[in-house]
Every structure is written in structure tokens, then in C-alpha cells.
């Protein structure tokens, strides 16, 4: 099965965005009778609206993120130019810290983690590591699902998107879209990952079934404000929700210093590995 290409949807959406600009001044029309939240873009078909948002988010390339996971919440930054990187931490001193840089997954935490790592703050882990492997695979998967360009592109090209309606998210007026995505096509589009890491993501997602439902909330300038994804087997109660802000302003995410990275086996022992 041929991989989906982000570039093809970007070209298509660029034409659509250009067409919108040609119809007016290019700014959101807050007086639109159909949907004050979405301005001129509210007149687009769902696939076109998602494709237009993919172009905007690709240009932004990074931003602040808030993750709501089934059993945790984390905040930090993400970047999605060429590959997907994320640097987030949970609440409280004992919460897990996660930094994913390309294929590399680094986990950290509070004083107990630092003690287990002989004073170092991070451990480099893989989905294949005993004990901590499932956690590593889950965070790698969440990182990929947080890539707005990837999600919007797959939904626009291969999904089945529909328009839900106008909604406010955190005081921001948006248009809400929903798409059903094939898990195989979603992981196929993760071309920046190596084969082993992509297989780990596919295994994690496939445990929830063959398809995912992804909801998108897009504002009047085609920025993605929020997305929520959940599998057809686990349902919405196991959803991952990502909120975006500060687009284009996040600092570059880099791997921890080599001397501050401990052994994955020491980290795994905290989880019985």
C-alpha cells in the first residue's frame, strides 16, 4: 500500500486557501451568516477545510500542547516539521516527563526516578524494553497522534470527514469536524519513523481496532485548536485530546544531554521490569 504524501494535500489545500484569499481580504469573516466561528472557510466541504488547515499548521511547524490522556494530563511543546517531536510533563513532582525526538524516546520523572537513575534525569527507552516497553510505545503513539499535519492530511485524503457544527473551545469559536480514519493508513503516513518504531505504533493502535474516530476543531483562520482521537473498540472514554496554542513560537526540542541519560533497565525496575 503506497504511503500517503503530505505534499500532495498541501498543494491541493494551497490552491483552496488561495481561492479563499482571492474572494476577499484573506481574513476571517466573523459576520458569516452560516458560521461566525469559521469565516470564509465555513463554506468549504469537510475534506477541503481539513486540507486547508493542514497547510496552516504545516507553516506554523510547532506550538504549545495540552494532552488529556485517559489516566493523565500533560503540558509542554511539540514540533512537526519533517518529523514529530514532543516535550511534555505531567502535574506534580512525581509525574512522568516525556521527550520524544524522532525515533528516540526519553522518560523522566520525580526524585524517585532520578535516584533510580543514579542522579540522572532521563532514561532512553524503546517499545521493546522489558517492563517499560508498553509505556514507551504508548508515548511514541501519542506523539504521532499529536502531529496536526499528519492527522489533518490523513483525514482529508483517506478519511470520511463530516461537519458537526459550530462550537466554542476555551472561548475560541471553531467549526467542529469528525473523521473516521483507517489505522493502517494512519501509520503508513508516519514516514519519518523507522520500521521498528512504526510497527510499535501500529501494534498500539491496532489493539483498539482497525479504525479511529478523530474530531477536529478549527478556528476562523484555519488553525487547528483541538483534536480528539479514539479507537472504535475502546470508545470516547479512552480518547486522547490535544489542545494547541502559541503556534510557531515554541522553542526547538532537543534530546537530553548524553551525560544526563541513564540506563533503561534502571528505569524499568521502577515498573517491575
Interval 39-90: pLDDT, tens: 455 578 999 999 999 999 999 999 999 999 988 899 999 999 989 999 999 9
Interval 2-46: pLDDT, tens: 344 443 333 333 333 333 333 333 333 333 334 444 445 557 899
Q: Domains (ranges, CATH) in the chain?
A: 1-273 (2.50.20.20)
The confidence band for 91, taking pLDDT boundaries of 50, 70 and 90, is confident
Higher pLDDT, 130 or 223: 223
Predicted TM-score of the model (pTM): 0.83
The confidence band for 165, taking pLDDT boundaries of 50, 70 and 90, is very high
Q: In the block, which residue shows the cell 484555519?
A: 222
What is d(CA 198, CA 185) in angstroms, rounded to the nearest whole number? 12
Q: Is the pLDDT of residue 140 over 90?
A: yes
Task: Yes or no: say if 227 and 217 are a contact pair by the CB < 8 Å rule.
Answer: yes
What is d(CA 243, CA 170) in angstroms, rounded to the nearest whole number? 10
Q: Is 228 left (phi over 0), alpha (psi -120 to 50) or beta?
A: beta
Amino acid at each position: 500500500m503506497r504511503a500517503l504524501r503530505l505534499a500532495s494535500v498541501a498543494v491541493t489545500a494551497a490552491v483552496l486557501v488561495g481561492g479563499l484569499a482571492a474572494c476577499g481580504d484573506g481574513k476571517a469573516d466573523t459576520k458569516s451568516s452560516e458560521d461566525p466561528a469559521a469565516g470564509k472557510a465555513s463554506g468549504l466541504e469537510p475534506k477541503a477545510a481539513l486540507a486547508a488547515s493542514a497547510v496552516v499548521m504545516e507553516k506554523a511547524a510547532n506550538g504549545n500542547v495540552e494532552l488529556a490522556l485517559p489516566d493523565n494530563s500533560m503540558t509542554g511543546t511539540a514540533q512537526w516539521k519533517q518529523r514529530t517531536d514532543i516535550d511534555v510533563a505531567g502535574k506534580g513532582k512525581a509525574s512522568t516527563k516525556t521527550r520524544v525526538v524522532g525515533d528516540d524516546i526519553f522518560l523522566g520523572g520525580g526524585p524517585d526516578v532520578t535516584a533510580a537513575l543514579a542522579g540522572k534525569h532521563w532514561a532512553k527507552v524503546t517499545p521493546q524494553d522489558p517492563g517499560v516497553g508498553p509505556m514507551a510505545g504508548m508515548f511514541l503513539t501519542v506523539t504521532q497522534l499529536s502531529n496536526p499535519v499528519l492527522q489533518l492530511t490523513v483525514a482529508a485524503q483517506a478519511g470520511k470527514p463530516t461537519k458537526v457544527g459550530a462550537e466554542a473551545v476555551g472561548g475560541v469559536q471553531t467549526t467542529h469536524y469528525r473523521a473516521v480514519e483507517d489505522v493502517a493508513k494512519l501509520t503508513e503516513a508516519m514516514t519519518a519513523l523507522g520500521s521498528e518504531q512504526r510497527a510499535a505504533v501500529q501494534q498500539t493502535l491496532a489493539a483498539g481496532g482497525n479504525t479511529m474516530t478523530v474530531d477536529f476543531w478549527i478556528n476562523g483562520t484555519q488553525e487547528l485548536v483541538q483534536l480528539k482521537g479514539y479507537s472504535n473498540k475502546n470508545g470516547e472514554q479512552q480518547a486522547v485530546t490535544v489542545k494547541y496554542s502559541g503556534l510557531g513560537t515554541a522553542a526547538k526540542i532537543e534530546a537530553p544531554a548524553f551525560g544526563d541519560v541513564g540506563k533503561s533497565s534502571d528505569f524499568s525496575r521502577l515498573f517491575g521490569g
